[in-house]
Chain A
Amino acid sequence: MDLVYMTAHELHDKLTSKQISAEEVCREYLDRIEKVEDRLKAYMTVTGDLALNQARSVDKRIASGESIPPLAGIPIAVKDNMCTEGIRTTCSSKILYNFVPPYNATVVEKILAGGMVLMGKTNMDEFAMGSSTENSGFYTTSNPWDTERVPGGSSGGSAVAVAAGETVFSLGSDTGGSIRQPASLCGVVGIKPTYGAVSRYGLVAFASSLDQIGCFSRDVTDCAVLLNLITGHDPLDSTSAPGQKTDYTGFLNRPIKGLRVGVPVEYMGEGIDPGVRAVINDALKVLASQGAVIEEASLPHSKYAIPVYYLIATAEASSNLARYDGVRYGYRAEDPGDVVDMFMRTRSRGFGTEVKRRIMLGTYALSTGYYDAYYLKALKVRTLIKQDFDRAFDKYDVLISPTSPGTAFRKGEKVDDPLQMYLSDITTISVNLAGIPGISVPAGFSGGLPVGMQIMGRPFDEGTLIGVAHAFERDTDHHARFPEL
């Protein structure tokens, strides 16, 4: 089997049994990047020399007889909105084109401490605002299943890097579906953990109350192994959850007989592509065949999710993105007349259209006289949306829906229609508003393009999601199909 399509658990066995060295693995992946990057543009920065050095040091540990942790020597790519010390971190924005952080995000510290090999930083929609990577300030990433199509977003580069064998793992961030939707469109596993499960320290903020780091992998087992490494309390993040660490691999290989599955009608009706719906219905049959009890469920406030999201997320973004002013780092407009001119021209030129659109929306929503009608009202409706989920989880262990209403769309198809673009997140956004975990797993194909199934669970019940996803994966082989490149 092709090395670049192996899972981490397979590679770990080969490394520890000395069938292959970490350096060989790393070189293999760097060659793959070399071969496909022209067409895909998944990466913003490839850190080849650093990766080889890290791989060699893992080889030394293996040679010295040390027993290495499960992910040591395994390649990983990181979305370009997580700070990496000494490595450019752009958020795919011109305004940060030259920003080199002096510190590592907590999650980066953790993957380095785990001996993982950092392959580079991945392309994204600018500041994670978008669903296709078309909002990247630099270039659009292509979907490996059809390079005329988008990979989804905003973590499109991270999804493609895994799907196209340019890395084993990648990290992404998910504010309204930015991990799950590209995972679905690229045919890989992507999880957005519960808000607070993974430290946000060092993740460049888009919408602080919604942002959550998660990961992409080839299969559910790998997902569980990486989750073990990246979750846990961080004193540097006040919103990170205290408590004991969970071993997510303990949820693999569990039977799902009697599992109560709710399928929200709101996520299966109008607006969902019939091909996608058919794939999900087939997937539900697979679960039912293993003894899961499938029922129709309802999340009655779902129709408000998109407006609520675009008030809260933009309001927070308008404040979070205020710091990019040309004073301290990043792009600064040339020859400013005075300080106000510098602020205005730096931000006008440094930010792309979608980012500016959202900053304006958010600024408006927080303004005196509008705050109560927009922002405050949105917070209240957010509570109602969360209560919908609470009630549903009284009855069901998990909820299941399509991850995205459609398969990968053509580049340019939605760029001029932001509302249409926003609607492609309709099935994922509520999960962020409620702060609960969601995973997207390859569920089949429609028109030759991957379709993802989203499994949603109770707060901090990632274990159950892993269990259900793994049960599905055991009886299917969608995750083991790879694009022709």
Chain B
Amino acid sequence: MAQYETVIGLEVHVELKTNTKIFCHSSTRFGGDPNTHVCPVCLGLPGVLPVLNKKVVEYATRVGLALKCSIAQYSKFDRKNYYYPDLPKNYQISQYDLPLAERGYLDIDTEEGIKRIGITRVHMEEDAGKLVHQGTISTTPYSLVDYNRTGVPLIEIVSEPDMRTPEEARAYLEKLKAIIQYTGISDCKMEEGSLRCDANVSIRPVGSDELGTKTEIKNMNSFRSLQRALRYEVERQVEALEEGGGIIQETRTWDEAKGITLSMRSKEEAHDYRYFPDPDLVPMVIDPDWVEEIRASLPELPDRRKERYVADYGLPAYDASVITATKELADYFEECLAGYPNAKAASNWVMGDLSRLLNAGNLDISQCPIKPDQLAGLLKLMDNGTISGKIAKTVFEEMFETGKDPDLIVREKGLVQISDEGAISTAVDDVLAANPKVAEDFRTGKEKALGFLVGQVMKVTRGKANPEMVNKMLKEKIK
């Protein structure tokens, strides 16, 4: 069997978090009763005209700059003509040959190290509405259409075909999402459709410079389904070639339940979009000084933040990557550090127990019941010996459940560590008296026996005895 190389490029659509739509004053809010966030303009009624929302250009410029693109000084909107009932004008206002931003890149972590993925372009366009029907549009007795989303501003980010594995594609999308979230212009919620991804996939013999025939994959609604769909599609293409067949240029849809891609339409059925400049909008002349203002206002981006965590906090690169992967998590981490200086200990808790409980509860960090200063408080209680590490885990879970301060939980439940020599000594004496045989075992060299005795002392003190002191005292008393 021949060796194949996979070539993947992604087209990502991101909804911008502006208050109003791209060409009118209707609200962009998600949800709401159908057709309540609409006006004559976004409904495309006869006679209406679009007026560009300048905030959209600003937000798209932020993304373009964050992706190291050059920003056009002259840009325009074009009409993309196709018929579909969720598109009120039967054309979408988009950008064709003069996009707002071009020629950028982002870096991803791979097993072979950092890899640079090219960004072809970033352009602005309007979103379409939503159709609800039974089965497919051609078999349903009727369709309902909700135009609330119509005219919500989108940016489309097109990558170069630089990715070679489904894992790289996933890493690219995760990184892209992180960067966009850092710029603060979108929620990037895949489940709400504010981040959507299509993939162009082809394979070619290793060593070949020519691109193979590509397929376009749609309908991947999570990072996981992107990776799964690409794995499936690559296998499908390899099999097709191995069986002596060819790849048909077509659009395919990912069926999450069946775990396969299915043909949607072939190249022959593809639309001729008949792009032409939208005569209702004047071309945009973009002031380079304004672009520089936006550049100066960009926040610290994930790569820079990661470097700072390694350099300033001494975090391992892995920890720094995980924590800076979303702005919210990194912000949480830094707020925690404001009250507690040991970065590595904090990162262990954030990456370990905190992430575990968030995942189990299907929560994201913004919904975390433990506030960063409360986590800092818990870590301090541990460091100053008020509670043991073991008790800390119990307190932590209690905090997660109730949102209470750690001091309060420790006080209410009487969880303060016993470090009083007299109290510990009494407990040790009681345990030795009750377990003379085990004590003898330890004296004759069975190291394991000590563990049992420590356990007994902790049991008697309901876990509150300072474990180091218990250890030390047991050894002294048995000798």
A binds B: yes
Q: Which residues of A contact B (CB under 8 A)?
A: 81-83, 89, 91, 96, 99, 101-103, 105, 200-205, 207-209, 235-239, 315-316, 318-319, 322-323, 325, 327-329, 338-340, 343, 363, 366-368, 371, 375
* Beta-carbon nearest neighbor of B131 in chain A: A339
Flag if A99 contacts B49 (CB, 8 Å): no
Flag if A103 contacts B40 (CB, 8 Å): yes
Can you show 15 pairs from A to B with CB atoms below 8 A apart?
A: A81-B47, A89-B46, A96-B46, A101-B46, A101-B47, A200-B49, A236-B51, A238-B50, A239-B279, A319-B91, A328-B43, A328-B45, A329-B45, A366-B275, A368-B272
Q: Which of A103, A340, A367 has the most CB of B within 10 A?
A: A103
Interface residue B339 (Cβ < 8 Å from any Cβ of A): no
Query: How many Å lie between the Cα of A200 and that of B50 in the bound state?
Result: 11
Flag if A103 contacts B45 (CB, 8 Å): yes
Flag if B49 contacts A238 (CB, 8 Å): yes
Interface residue B110 (Cβ < 8 Å from any Cβ of A): no
Query: With A238-B280, A239-B282, A328-B88 in contact, is A363–B274 under 8 Å at CB?
Result: yes
Apart from the given pairs A200-B49, A368-B274, 14 other A-B contacts in the complex at a CB distance below 8 Å: A83-B46, A101-B40, A101-B45, A101-B47, A209-B279, A238-B52, A319-B79, A319-B274, A322-B83, A323-B46, A327-B85, A339-B143, A343-B83, A375-B276
Among B47, B137, B138, B276, contact of A366 (Cβ-Cβ < 8 Å): B276
Q: Give chain A residues whose Cβ lies under 8 Å from the Cβ of B145.
A: 327
Query: How many Å lie between the Cα of A366 and that of B278 in the bound state?
Result: 13
Flag if B282 contacts A238 (CB, 8 Å): yes
Flag if B274 contacts A366 (CB, 8 Å): yes
Query: With A319-B81, A327-B145 in contact, is A367–B279 under 8 Å at CB?
Result: no
Query: How many Å lie between the Cα of A99 and that of B51 in the bound state?
Result: 24
Query: How many Å lie between the Cα of A135 and that of B14 in the bound state?
Result: 45
Among B46, B51, B89, B137, contact of A238 (Cβ-Cβ < 8 Å): B51
Query: How many Å lie between the Cα of A319 and that of B44 in the bound state?
Result: 12
Flag if B88 contacts A323 (CB, 8 Å): yes
Q: Which of A89, A328, A367 has the most CB of B within 10 A?
A: A328
Flag if A325 contacts B83 (CB, 8 Å): yes
Among A99, A202, A319, contact of B276 (Cβ-Cβ < 8 Å): A319
Interface residue B281 (Cβ < 8 Å from any Cβ of A): yes
Q: Give chain B residues whose Cβ lies under 8 Å from the Cβ of A203.
A: 47
Flag if A205 contacts B91 (CB, 8 Å): no
Q: Which of B83, B91, B137 has the most CB of A within 10 A?
A: B83
Q: Give chain B residues whose Cβ lies under 8 Å from the Cβ of A99.
A: 46
User: What per-residue 1/0 map shows which CB atoms of B186-208 lie under 8 Å from chain A?
Assistant: 00000000000000000000000
In B36-72, the 8 Å CB interface with A consists of: 40, 43-52
* Beta-carbon nearest neighbor of B46 in chain A: A204
Nearest Cβ distance between residue B353 and chain A, in whole angstroms?
Answer: 53
Nearest Cβ distance between residue B268 and chain A, in whole angstroms?
Answer: 13
Flag if B47 contacts A323 (CB, 8 Å): no
Query: How many Å lie between the Cα of A26 and that of B145 in the bound state?
Result: 44
Nearest Cβ distance between residue B42 and chain A, in whole angstroms?
Answer: 12
Q: Give chain A residues whose Cβ lies under 8 Å from the Cβ of B165.
A: none
Query: How many Å lie between the Cα of A125 and that of B466 in the bound state?
Result: 94
* Beta-carbon nearest neighbor of A200 in chain B: B49
Flag if A325 contacts B276 (CB, 8 Å): no
Query: How many Å lie between the Cα of A236 and that of B276 in the bound state?
Result: 22
In B268-296, the 8 Å CB interface with A consists of: 272, 274-276, 279-282
Flag if A91 contacts B272 (CB, 8 Å): no
Query: How many Å lie between the Cα of A200 and that of B47 in the bound state?
Result: 8
Query: How many Å lie between the Cα of A102 and that of B39 in the bound state?
Result: 10
With an 8 Å Cβ cutoff, the count of chain B residues facing the other chain is 32
* Beta-carbon nearest neighbor of A127 in chain B: B46
* Beta-carbon nearest neighbor of A208 in chain B: B279
Q: Give chain A residues whose Cβ lies under 8 Å from the Cβ of B83.
A: 322, 325, 343
* Beta-carbon nearest neighbor of A321 in chain B: B90
Query: With A322-B81, A327-B85 in contact, is A339–B137 under 8 Å at CB?
Result: yes
Task: Identify the 10 closest CB pairs spanning chains A and B, nearest first.
Answer: A322-B90, A208-B279, A366-B274, A209-B279, A204-B46, A202-B47, A83-B47, A204-B47, A323-B89, A338-B138
Q: Give chain A residues whose Cβ lies under 8 Å from the Cβ of B88.
A: 323, 327-328
Flag if A323 contacts B49 (CB, 8 Å): no
Query: How many Å lie between the Cα of A339 and that of B143 in the bound state?
Result: 9
Query: How many Å lie between the Cα of A208 and that of B138 in the bound state?
Result: 33
In B139-191, the 8 Å CB interface with A consists of: 139, 143, 145
Q: Give chain B residues whose Cβ lies under 8 Å from the Cβ of A328.
A: 43-45, 88
Q: Give chain A residues whose Cβ lies under 8 Å from the Cβ of B45.
A: 83, 101-103, 328-329
Query: How many Å lie between the Cα of A340 and that of B43 in the bound state?
Result: 20
Among B40, B50, B52, B275, contact of A102 (Cβ-Cβ < 8 Å): B40
Among B44, B143, B276, B281, contact of A315 (Cβ-Cβ < 8 Å): B276
Q: Which of B48, B50, B88 has the most CB of A within 10 A?
A: B48
Query: How many Å lie between the Cα of A105 and that of B138 in the bound state?
Result: 37
* Beta-carbon nearest neighbor of A341 in chain B: B138
* Beta-carbon nearest neighbor of B145 in chain A: A327
Q: Give chain B residues whose Cβ lies under 8 Å from the Cβ of A343.
A: 83
Flag if B276 contacts A371 (CB, 8 Å): yes
Flag if B49 contacts A236 (CB, 8 Å): yes
* Beta-carbon nearest neighbor of B90 in chain A: A322
* Beta-carbon nearest neighbor of B137 in chain A: A339
Query: With A316-B279, A338-B138 in contact, is A367–B274 under 8 Å at CB?
Result: yes
Query: How many Å lie between the Cα of A431 and that of B274 in the bound state?
Result: 27
Nearest Cβ distance between residue A331 and chain B, in whole angstroms?
Answer: 13
Query: How many Å lie between the Cα of A323 and that of B84 in the bound state?
Result: 10
Query: How many Å lie between the Cα of A327 and that of B139 in the bound state?
Result: 17
Query: How many Å lie between the Cα of A82 and that of B45 in the bound state?
Result: 12
* Beta-carbon nearest neighbor of B147 in chain A: A328
Q: Give chain A residues whose Cβ lies under 8 Å from the Cβ of B280.
A: 205, 208, 238-239
Q: Give chain B residues whose Cβ lies under 8 Å from the Cβ of A81.
A: 47
Query: With A204-B46, A323-B88 in contact, is A238–B281 under 8 Å at CB?
Result: yes
Nearest Cβ distance between residue A198 and chain B, in whole angstroms?
Answer: 13
Among B43, B46, B275, B279, contact of A91 (Cβ-Cβ < 8 Å): B46
Q: Give chain A residues whose Cβ lies under 8 Å from the Cβ of B79.
A: 319
Query: With A103-B40, A323-B88, A327-B85 in contact, is A82–B47 under 8 Å at CB?
Result: yes
Q: Which of B46, B85, B145 has the most CB of A within 10 A?
A: B46
Nearest Cβ distance between residue A40 and chain B, in whole angstroms?
Answer: 26
Q: Give chain A residues whose Cβ lies under 8 Å from the Cβ of B48.
A: 201-202
Nearest Cβ distance between residue B164 and chain A, in whole angstroms?
Answer: 31
Flag if B85 contacts A325 (CB, 8 Å): yes
Query: With A319-B79, A328-B88 in contact, is A201–B46 under 8 Å at CB?
Result: no
Q: Give chain A residues whose Cβ lies under 8 Å from the Cβ of B43.
A: 328
Nearest Cβ distance between residue B168 and chain A, in whole angstroms?
Answer: 33
Q: Which of A91, A316, A329, A375 has the most CB of B within 10 A?
A: A316
Nearest Cβ distance between residue A429 and chain B, in whole angstroms?
Answer: 17
* Beta-carbon nearest neighbor of B24 in chain A: A236
Q: Give chain B residues whose Cβ lies under 8 Å from the Cβ of A238.
A: 49-52, 280-282
Q: Give chain B residues whose Cβ lies under 8 Å from the Cβ of A237.
A: 49, 51
Q: Which of A83, A238, A363, A375 has the most CB of B within 10 A?
A: A238
In B3-54, the 8 Å CB interface with A consists of: 40, 43-52
Query: How many Å lie between the Cα of A485 and that of B337 in the bound state?
Result: 92
Flag if A325 contacts B90 (CB, 8 Å): yes
